[in-house]
Structure 1
Amino acid sequence: MDRSISGAHWSNPSRLKTRHLVLLLHLDEQGSVLRAAEAARMTQPAASKLLAEMEALLGVPLFDRHARGVQPTWYGQVLIRRARSALLEIGRAQEEIAALRDGRMGQASIGTVVNPGTNLVPRAVAEIKSRHPDILVRIEMDYSRPLVARLLDGQLDLVVGRIMDPDGGLDLEFEPLADEPHSVVVRHGHPLATQKTVRHADLAAYGWILPPPDSVLRARLETMFLERGMQGPRNVVETSSLPVTTNLLRVSDLLTALPVEAVAPYVQAKQLAVLPLELGVGMESFGIIRRRGHLLSPAAQKMLEALRTMARQLYARGGPR
């Protein structure tokens, strides 16, 4: 069915104003013109008029109306994603201008997966703070997919992770840094840690701490079990939190799969141990990801340079892989 607005023609979308975009996000969040109007501090007729203006300017319906409220169309979803990014950029521009006006460098927001989040990113941040203590650094640790989504939305300046999906790939630049093999990690003194050799079959008797089902690592662990004719773990704790994982390991006989570098301090302190087993589970190379053609703020540019410098020291000479 033709979903275009009857009789509408493409107008100049540059006539969209900030108030249009703000209302658009409220409509998406609230799912109701009335509630969106209240959130935007305007009347419902004024909100309906602004929505009609947007649809007339673009020549497409942005929301479907139904008895329960409004829901964005495909066109609306595209504009909502770009509007959120645009408003975030405007907000950041105001912060950067204020910081530069006051003689400060501003801020940098980084997303990272676990392994570089335990060595590369902390070292790079320490380097930045030693040289530029006025830079505000924000760090988020998560899996690659949500981090890259936040990068594309403009919520993050840089991500140290992987591009897992082709969607949005053309909008991204990737600098590979290192691969990431995983090992089986247990508490110090675990029964398996006292064995000179460990086989995959020995793992079956123990419970596991696993990442959520939608993660790539979870799928690869399950594939590893199947390829070796083993039943996947039934005694399972699911978490994406490294602190929760390490503390669970220390007080139980549970197993987990992690990069050795992620738990190196615990191993050195004899709180955790790495089993002498080639698990055969790894992830693609992680690297520095940023938006293609996007001009980084002075603080984010400094952060990028520090990440590159620390990566050369960690990985170029056969360091953690």
Structure 2
Amino acid sequence: MIDGRMKLRHIACFLEVAARSGFGRAADALGLTQPAVSRAIAELEDILGAPLFERGRGGAVLTPQGIAFRTHAGAAFAELGRGIDTLRRPAAGDVVLKVGALPTVAARIMPGAIRRAKEMGLDATIAIEAGSNGWLLDLLTEGRLDLVVGRLAEPKAMMGLTFEHLYSEPIVFVARRGHPADTGHPVGLVELARHPFIMPGPGSIIRPEIDRLFLMEGLAGPAERIETTDASFSRAYVGASDAVWVISHGVVAGDLDAGTLVRLPLSMSISGGPVGLTTRAGHAPLPQAAIFLEALREVARAL
């Protein structure tokens, strides 16, 4: 039975602090003062009889109890919001389908999926939230997204979520046409590492695979590198230099088809892992979400 002392403001503050890993950032997002947010969390911890956050100079980190509570609190908060939306937006066309999309994979599948969903009769506004895989899964857990198109995360991050495999996407090494390594013959990583590299930062989900490849070749990494997930910057920089860009194939598929970039034939293969749909476990999707999910599956099968 829910303790009568627990209020919606407690849950809202908890979810915001968890999402933003800090009391100050959560207060700004909620339009409250930091002491008010801190007080709400302290009250919630007293009600639950368990610590929910570890406080430190770097921010607030969920405890194991906080992780467990977040899964259920986020889902309940989302269902409440969905019920309110049902009353406020009775018309089907007023439904907003909130989709999280990992930038490194969204470019390959999202445009076609949206077109196909519209052909299948989807009558809803699609709001796309782009961000890192971890950030999107946090939003999904809290009910702020209906689904996420991204990569399979570690088991800990998948608590309360389900993953459906759509396709596997390789990680590719690309460069401008006419690059010194663009010879048409397989090139070794040791040779490529002499050039500047552009690659995702340590927090990205494909970075461990990239680092592992270098270690297999006995290399700590490229001598010179720029870490970013900004595709626009990376295209511009690669096009004007001898840099090598390491990225998911879907991000540069159009560039490769157009011939503005070339895929360097690395002598070793590197797999980027599965790409798929992540949804909240045990929650039936909205009818509009079900249409979009089927459209995503159709487009993925055609890849």
Report the TM-score when normalising by structure 1.
0.74
Residue in 1 aligned with 2:101?
112
Structural mapping, 1:195-274, within 5 Å = 195-200=183-188, 201-274=190-263
Residue in 2 aligned with 1:318?
none
Letter of the 1:172 counterpart: L
Return 5+ residue gaps in structure 1 as ranges. Answer: 1-11, 315-321
- Asked if structure 2 preserves the Cα contact closer than 8 Å seen for 1:187 and 1:250, the reply is yes
Provide the rounded CA distance (Å) in 2 between the counterparts of 1:27 and 1:294. Answer: 24
Residue in 2 aligned with 1:90?
80
Does residue 123 (structure 1) correspond to residue 112 (structure 2)? The answer is yes
Residue in 1 aligned with 2:8?
18
Tell me, what secondary structure is at the counterpart of 2:193? helix
Q: What is the identity percentage for the equivalent residue pairs of Structure 1 and Structure 2? A: 30
1:130-151 CA-to-partner distances (Å, cap 9, x unmatched) read 4546411122334433322222
Distance 1:135 1:35, change over 3 A: closer
Letter of the 1:211 counterpart: P
Shift, 1:129, TM fit: 3.2
1:201-256 CA-to-partner distances (Å, cap 9, x unmatched) read 32022000011123343232222223223451121111012222222222221101
Does residue 305 (structure 1) correspond to residue 294 (structure 2)? The answer is yes
Provide the rounded CA distance (Å) in 1 between the counterparts of 2:230 and 2:29. Answer: 35
Partner of residue 143 from structure 2, selected from 149, 154, 158: 154
Tell me, what secondary structure is at the counterpart of 1:286? strand
1:20-71 CA-to-partner distances (Å, cap 9, x unmatched) read 434556888646xx9999928xx97xx969965x556534466899xxxx99
Provide the rounded CA distance (Å) in 1 between the counterparts of 2:227 and 2:242. Answer: 15
Does residue 166 (structure 1) correspond to residue 159 (structure 2)? The answer is no
Structural mapping, 1:36-115, within 5 Å = 39=32, 52=43, 54=44, 57-60=47-50, 75=65, 79=69, 82-99=72-89, 101-104=90-93, 106-114=95-103
Residue in 2 aligned with 1:317?
none
- Asked if structure 1 preserves the Cα contact closer than 8 Å seen for 2:95 and 2:124, the reply is yes
Provide the rounded CA distance (Å) in 2 between the counterparts of 1:59 and 1:165. Answer: 29
Count of aligned pairs:
291
Between 274-283 and 71-80, report the one with greater CA deviation: 71-80
Does residue 284 (structure 1) correspond to residue 273 (structure 2)? The answer is yes
- Asked if structure 1 preserves the Cα contact closer than 8 Å seen for 2:195 and 2:242, the reply is yes
Return 5+ residue gaps in structure 2 as ranges. Answer: none
- Asked if structure 2 preserves the Cα contact closer than 8 Å seen for 1:208 and 1:237, the reply is yes
1:164-199 CA-to-partner distances (Å, cap 9, x unmatched) read 211153522222122222221001222222x13142
Distance 1:301 1:206, change over 3 A: same
Distance 1:183 1:124, change over 3 A: same
Distance 1:90 1:241, change over 3 A: farther
